[in-house]
Structure 1
Amino acid sequence: MAEYRIDDLARAAGTTVRNVRVYQDRELLPPPRRQGRTAIYSDAHLVRLRLIINMLERGYAFAQIKEMITAWESGRSLGEVLGLEEAVGASWAEEAPRPVTVAELRKKFGKQFSPANIKRSIELGLLERRGRGFVAPSPQLLDAGAELVALGVPLSAVLDLAEQLQADIDHVAGALVEVVREHVLIRPVPGEDDVPYYSEVLQRLRPLVMSALNAAAARSAERVIPEVLGDRLVELLERTHRPDQVS
């Protein structure tokens, strides 16, 4: 389970530290765990925060949100509520974020590690600032980008690709999850078992989505790579084996 300081929590939810404190003062957001003088928030807090933001965008007032959340929680144990919220907000990544120094990034990307590319990498969520260095939320994406640059692809083009790739994956993953929402989450749940039921659905959905995306990406690569590179390889072969022209 991920842990967040208040600024990390606000950034992950797309809001401000001030708003987080306001929601907490209004008793919409549960208090954080204290570690010395530091407030530590969990995935459950992130899910609750996103829920609050969603309801505010739909036009609900603070009092209405608090009333609805309280009514939903009534009759359920704290463990059930937190269990569902943590299941919703748990990270799907199979890799841990990795600290990276400025020196490491300059070694990977050379002169292309410019202020403009740094800014864009942060905006895309590929890097996060941590003191004098950075954290790569997905080291695999960072390494893939470095390998493309090593092959000769400009870093600006790699960042364009990362943005497009994320949008495409969001669309595909969203379509898969929408099928589950449409055919599974609207199904009537017998008795008072709705919280355990949805927790189980989420636990089963995570590996299903990852497996489907990985398998689809592998099959797509098998088709696309030969199609894209085939003509170029044929051209190279023809050039290599072309008989000398007789003058």
Structure 2
Amino acid sequence: MAENDRARREYRAEELAGLAGITVRTVRFYRERRLLPPPRRDGRIAWYDDHHLARLRTISALLERGHTLTGIAELADALDQGRGVADLLGVDAPSEEEPVRLTPEELAARFDGEVTPENLAAAMRLGYLGTDGEEIVHVSRRLLDVSSALVREGIPLAEVLAAALETRRHTEALAELFSTLILRHTSPQTLTRLRPLAQTTLEAELSLALDKKLRERG
């Protein structure tokens, strides 16, 4: 049973190539270009696993979308150097945000032509993206949806991320203001209960500020 279970998870180069729909020569080429992580060695036999298969399918999907091998290699390196999902989400940090798991090709499809190594690095510095094996984890479905919607409207992803960084600075200052105000007069337990009041205040103030800007520029 253990041998059969291993056979389902690990493959020789010929099996891996067949499952990925490419040649063994292409597998070796991808390894040389560092698009594919090294296999597990058992003597002279190289064993590949499902992570290698997923990476090969991702490469094929990105090539079909017009990405170059050089660009894919840069993306793979950025992802391999990315923060782990545990660092991204925190161990004991509660949040109302829903994380989203994506394959690299799903991320590329969300931001067609905008998923560059520079943008990936910026998103990781912001704490938006982390990695979990071959999957990418975005910390917030709402932020992911907003970012991709802005890009679809023609706003470059680099500028969206720059605006997100500036927003982060302001929101962290506002969070400090509200938490200090509440803790000055109540207990830490009350901070959690009154959190929705702070969020409602920020949403209302932002709505009023946007209304003002629309009138000024209308």
Matched, 1:158 2:173: no
Matched, 1:215 2:204: yes
User: What is the aligned partner in structure 1 of residue 94 from structure 2?
Assistant: 90
* Counterpart AA for 1:110: D
Matched residues in 2 for 1:100 and 1:8: separation? 12
Matched, 1:134 2:136: yes
* Counterpart AA for 1:102: P
* Counterpart AA for 2:135: G
CA, structure 1 residues 221+108, in 2 after alignment: closer, same or farther (shift >3 Å)? Answer: same
CA, structure 1 residues 160+105, in 2 after alignment: closer, same or farther (shift >3 Å)? Answer: same
Q: CA deviation at 1:90?
A: 2.9
Q: CA deviation at 1:137?
A: 0.9
CA RMSD of aligned residues (A): 2.2
> Equivalent residues in 2 for 1:1-247 (5 A)?
43=92, 89-91=93-95, 93=96, 95-182=97-184, 184-185=185-186, 198-199=188-189, 201-227=190-216, 229-230=217-218
* Counterpart AA for 1:137: V
Can you give the 5+ residue segments of structure 2 that lack an aligned partner in the other structure?
Answer: 1-83
* Counterpart AA for 2:130: E
Q: Which has the larger radius of gyration?
A: 1
* Counterpart AA for 2:159: A
Instruction: Normalising by structure 1, report the TM-score.
Output: 0.49
Q: CA deviation at 1:8?
A: 5.2
Identity rate, percent: 28
* Counterpart AA for 2:129: L
Q: CA deviation at 1:224?
A: 2.0
User: What is the aligned partner in structure 1 of residue 72 from structure 2?
Assistant: none
User: What is the aligned partner in structure 1 of residue 39 from structure 2?
Assistant: none
| 8 Å Cα contact 1:173/1:213 also seen in 2 | no
| 8 Å Cα contact 2:99/2:137 also seen in 1 | yes
User: What is the aligned partner in structure 2 of residue 84 from structure 1?
Assistant: none
Matched residues in 1 for 2:87 and 2:100: separation? 20
Can you give the 5+ residue segments of structure 1 that lack an aligned partner in the other structure?
Answer: 1-6, 14-40, 44-88, 186-196, 231-247
